Amino acid sequence: MNRTKIAGIGYYVPERVIPNSELVNLMDTSDEWIQERTGIQQRRYGKPHQETTTTMGAKAAEIAIERAGIQKEDVDLIIFATLSPDYFFPGCGVLVQRELKITHKEMPALDIRNQCSGFVYGLSIADAFIKSGQHKNILLIGSEMHSMGLDFTDRGRNVTVIFGDGAGAVILQPTEQNEGILSTHLHADGTHAEELAFINPGCHGGYHLGQERFGYPDAEYGGIFMTEKMWNDQDIFPNMNGQLVFKTAVTKFPEVIHEALKSNQLNTTDINMLVPHQANLRISQFVQRSLGLKDDQVWNNIQKYGNTTAASIPIALCEAWEAGKIKSGDLVCLAAFGSGFTWGSALIRW
Ligand code: UT7
């Protein structure tokens, strides 16, 4: 049976390094707090008005395309995962097609959300398209420009210190060899959708599941995207119930990894490299301990880049591969958890 392999991989992170010490000048936080709670030492921010989620995604894509040994024109489907798109609509899929100058190909461009799980969801979608025979060169991108949408005041400090900008991309192709994606497992539970969310502006108009939860009664017609009250309250940034996310993540990560291993009759000892979504170094360390993995079986880079959401797995995977830590025949496990809540895993024979 045909499988789907990663034929090329690339990543791009912006040049501008933001150490914790720079955030200390903007809000009530400290290098010690950030490092102790998250492991993060620095992150990258894109150049405002010059770089966007799309342009960073295009740079990562160009590297992946070159490494796959194909031409841009060979791409026959674009899948773009992000929670920080350039525009409300259209999505970054068509924008990156234009940025790569392949609009003449008129291939489909698919935008997916799924936040921190976006790359694993995208991989699963690409795998299904490849197996169906419908597409042969799929470009999957995870890219985020968080820095343009964060609250740099004390109120947003629990969220803002975590996130960074960057992009990762892969080219997916069919293979008949004993390699490629062995399985993907995806999950979602919308019960806590607002516990890690960027709610305003939006069309909820202040009404949520029968309650005036957000308190924007002025949103009747037309004003639902941005009300004066939202602006005055500066209630226009992401919010997170960090402890709930943390507790759920440390349960769901091991669960979905075990699910993947079990369905392939494999064990944790078979994993050569686990690349977890880089949410928090403490979460990754907890997952490592609960699976009994050694340090050289897990790749972490959140110290350098912060949490880059949909981009974090492809960036980390590419770094691990470039460092020679992933070799042909290795069993690679990807796992993600995040807003939604959504979570998932993928097992890949490299
Ligand atoms: O990508 C997937 C989604 N995200 C995650 O997986 C994140 C999961 N959650 C976490 O990583 C952690 O919950 C955080 C790192 C976000 C927060 O760590 P925590 O240990 O859960 O802290 P907390 O929210 O319980 O806050 C503890 C204290 C509070 O002060 P008080 O009430 O004890 O006086 C916060 O106000 O730390 C305070 N605090 C900060 N202090 C300095 C919150 N953010 C900061 C900050 N700097 N940046």
Model confidence at 257, pLDDT cuts 50, 70, 90, reads very high
Contact predicate 275/325, CB 8 Å:
no
Kindly tell me if the per-residue pLDDT of 236 is higher than 90: no
- In the numeric block, which tokens belong to residue 4? 């789907």
Q: 324-344, pLDDT tens digit by residue?
A: 999 999 999 999 999 999 999
How much is the pLDDT for 232?
A: 80
Q: 59-91, pLDDT tens digit by residue?
A: 999 999 999 999 999 999 999 999 999 999 999
- Asked if residue 169 and residue 278 are part of one domain, the reply reads no
- Asked if residue 157 and residue 24 are part of one domain, the reply reads yes
How much is the pLDDT for 57?
A: 98
- Asked if residue 60 and residue 145 are part of one domain, the reply reads yes
Provide the percentage of residues in the chain whose pLDDT is more than 70: 94
Pocket of ligand 1 (CB under 6 A): 29, 33, 37-38, 116, 157-158, 161, 196, 242-243, 245-246, 249, 279-280, 283, 307, 338
- Domain that residue 336 falls in: 181-191+240-349
| 302 found inside a domain | yes
| 263 found inside a domain | yes
How much is the pLDDT for 230?
A: 77
- Asked if residue 38 and residue 136 are part of one domain, the reply reads yes
- Asked if residue 331 and residue 214 are part of one domain, the reply reads no
Kindly tell me if the per-residue pLDDT of 55 is higher than 90: yes
- Asked if residue 17 and residue 129 are part of one domain, the reply reads yes
- In the numeric block, which tokens belong to residue 124? 């699963």
Q: Could you tell me which of 47, 75, 49 has the C-alpha nearest to residue 61?
A: 75
Q: What CATH number is attached to the domain comprising 332?
A: 3.40.47.10
Model confidence at 235, pLDDT cuts 50, 70, 90, reads confident
Question: What is the arithmetic mean of pLDDT over 295-305?
Answer: 97
Question: What is the arithmetic mean of pLDDT over 235-258?
Answer: 96
DSSP assignments along 197-236, one per residue: E--SSSTTTT-BTTB-TT--TT-SSSTTSS-HHHHHHT--
| 52 found inside a domain | yes
Residues 6+ apart with CB under 8 A from 162: 38, 40, 279, 280, 306, 307
Looking at every residue in the chain, the average pLDDT score rounds to: 94
CA of 284 to the centre of ligand 1 (A): 16
Helix (H) or strand (E) run with residue 126 in it: helix 118-131
Q: Per the structure, how many domains does the chain have?
A: 3
| 253 found inside a domain | yes
- Asked if residue 110 and residue 17 are part of one domain, the reply reads yes
How much is the pLDDT for 217?
A: 59
How much is the pLDDT for 1?
A: 64
- Asked if residue 277 and residue 253 are part of one domain, the reply reads yes
Query: What is the CB neighbour count within 10 angstroms for residue 71?
Result: 11
Q: Hey, which residues are catalytic here?
A: 116, 277, 307
Model confidence at 278, pLDDT cuts 50, 70, 90, reads very high
- Asked if residue 265 and residue 166 are part of one domain, the reply reads no
- Asked if residue 279 and residue 216 are part of one domain, the reply reads no
| 196 found inside a domain | no
- Asked if residue 91 and residue 213 are part of one domain, the reply reads no
Q: Whose CA is nearest to atom 45 of ligand 1?
A: 158
How much is the pLDDT for 346?
A: 98
Task: Provide the whole-model pTM.
Answer: 0.96
Q: Could you tell me which of 143, 140, 168, 171 has the C-alpha nearest to residue 67?
A: 171
| 81 found inside a domain | yes
- Asked if residue 75 and residue 8 are part of one domain, the reply reads yes
Compute CA distances 167 → 68, 108, 232, 343, whole Å. Answer: 17, 21, 33, 20
